[in-house]
Amino acid sequence: MQDLTGKTILLVISGGIAAYKSLELIRLIRKAGGRVRCILTKGGAQFITPLSVAALSEEPVYEDLFSLKDETEMGHIRLSREADLILVAPASANMIAKMAHGMADSLAAATLLATNKPVMIAPAMNQMMWANPATQANIETLATRGITLIGPTSGDMACGETGLGRMAEPEEILGAVMGFFYQSKPLSGLSALVTSGPTYEPLDPVRFIGNRSSGKQGHAIAASLAAQGADVTLVTGPVSLPDPQGVKTVHVETAVEMLDACRQALPADIAICAAAVSDWSAAAVLSQKIKKRGDRQPPDIKLKENPDILAALAGLATPKRPKLVIGFAAETENLIEAAAEKRRNKGCDWIIANQVGPADDGMEKVFGRDENHVYLITDQTTEEWQKTSKQAIADKLADYIARWFTETRQTQPAPMAAE
């Protein structure tokens, strides 16, 4: 039996007579095993009391952006970060307008602006307010940003009019919440291992060999796979990005540590190596800082080759080998030929080629940038993906992977058909 055990829902109750239904909604979510934390707006508090919300949720109720008590107990950032889902019910016309326009003039609005969590809204308002083009434009804006709409429904309203604008019933809202947590996504049931970022190979206690990888591309891929339902482990070298939501993230420094963490993350159905792993490390790491040697020659640093993580994963025997192994190729010249050769040599199924090196503006073309221009190379096709955001590339890759698993019924790796 599916329930909401282990799920935390942040319920934002904004102003409207339908707020009384939110009390029943809290009861239903609790009954289903979920935890409910509530933000009650000033408008919401005109219709129901903080005491009834606190009594039903068995949690403190948060009301004020500038309350010392609320912010020290649980700041608005933490309130949103600790939720699995944010539900705005009722969502008044005013609250919807604030969300659409990015306002942050209340605890509820600021929390919604600061969140990186999925958001669902259950609008409730007079039918004329709902039909107003301003409200409709705001709703459309929110829908294009991925916010899910529950209702409204049609019927008699508290104001005496009849029409579309009633908040969905608590049972229907609970159904939508359940659907959100349990609907099957394209990669549900599959596990994925993603490497990202650079590796740092120490020379002495303070110096290392590293590279310019920011982790943006690899982290975006991990987030996209997780959003599509995969169970994702991200093994990352040192980056300054936050860990992606809903992804198990393992932090490492060196290539050897990365390989070890990857091995521990197996078995996995999908492996994607986006990390810029150093090909070499110091043959001997000195225990003391290497000193300048006056006018003598600089120190001779002997290097040894690092293990190749992509080749190691691709070379595993079935059933240990991930079903689909995808590498990246960062090349400064002969992009397609060099990447295709790398795919064959390392034994991966697909390789994503990107041209690195200085761009026209003097900055690096790919490392650290928000955008990328890549080619997806399989054993049969080469497909160009025009320059776009690294997130868009990650989303497209996740779609291709989902399609590959559907088409091959998770058996043999096979080339993708072009779109």
Catalytic residue set: 159
Cα–Cα dist 217/257, whole Å:
20
Pairing of strands 371-377, 350-355: antiparallel
Indicate whether 274 belongs to the interface with ligand PMT (CB under 6 A): yes
Is 261 near ligand PMT (CB under 6 A)?
Answer: no
Q: Is 61 in the site for ligand PMT (CB under 6 A)?
A: no
Q: Is 296 left (phi over 0), alpha (psi -120 to 50) or beta?
A: beta
- Smallest separation (angstroms) from ligand PMT to the CB of 77: 25
Phi/psi region, residue 327 (left: phi>0; alpha: psi -120 to 50; beta: rest), is: beta
Question: Does residue 215 touch ligand PMT according to CB under 6 A?
Answer: yes
Give whichever of 328 and 405 is closer to ligand PMT, judged by the CB atom.
328
Nearest to ligand PMT of 166, 390 (CB atom): 390
Both structure tokens of 250: 């393992």
d(CA 71, CA 175): 32
Q: Is 194 a residue that touches ligand PMT (CB under 6 A)? A: no
Q: Which is nearer to ligand PMT, 179 or 368 (CB)?
A: 368
Phi then psi dihedrals of residue 415, to 5 deg: -70, 150
Amino acid at the residue 72: T
Handedness of CA 346, 348, 350, 351 (dihedral sign): negative
Which one among 24, 231, 279, 371 touches ligand PMT, defined by CB under 6 A?
279
Residue nearer to ligand PMT on the CB measure, 74 or 241: 241
Segment lying near ligand PMT (by CB under 6 A), choices 32-40, 177-185, 305-313, 403-411: 305-313
Check binding of 378 to ligand PMT (CB under 6 A). Answer: no
Q: How far is the CB of 203 from ligand PMT (least distance, A)?
A: 17
Give the orientation angle of helix 19-31 with respect to helix 50-57, to 10 degrees. 10
Check: CB of residue 177 under 8 Å from CB of residue 9.
yes
Q: Is 391 in the site for ligand PMT (CB under 6 A)?
A: no
**Token pair of 279, please?**
């090909």
Pairwise CA distance, residues 353 & 331, whole Å:
7
Beta-strand ranges (E) seen in 225-349 are 231-236, 248-251, 270-273, 280-282, 303-305, 324-331
Residue with Cβ nearer ligand PMT (125 or 192):
192
Distance in angstroms between the alpha carbons of the first and the last residue of the chain:
39
The interface region with ligand PMT, picked from 135-143, 158-166, 294-302, 365-373 by CB under 6 A, is 365-373
Window 217-256: contact mask with ligand PMT (x via CB under 6 A): xx------------------------------------x-
- CB nearer to ligand PMT: give 284 or 363: 363
Tell me: does residue 393 bind ligand PMT (CB under 6 A): no
Rule CB under 6 A: say whether 328 interacts with ligand PMT. yes
| Least CB distance to ligand PMT at residue 262 (A) | 9
The candidate with the shortest Cα–Cα distance to 328, out of 211, 243, 180, is 211
Q: HSE on the CB side for 225, CA within 13 Å?
A: 27
Residue 321 interacting with ligand PMT (CB under 6 A): no
Residues that bind ligand PMT (CB under 6 A): 195, 213-218, 255, 273-277, 279, 306, 308-310, 327-330, 342, 346, 354, 356, 366-368, 390
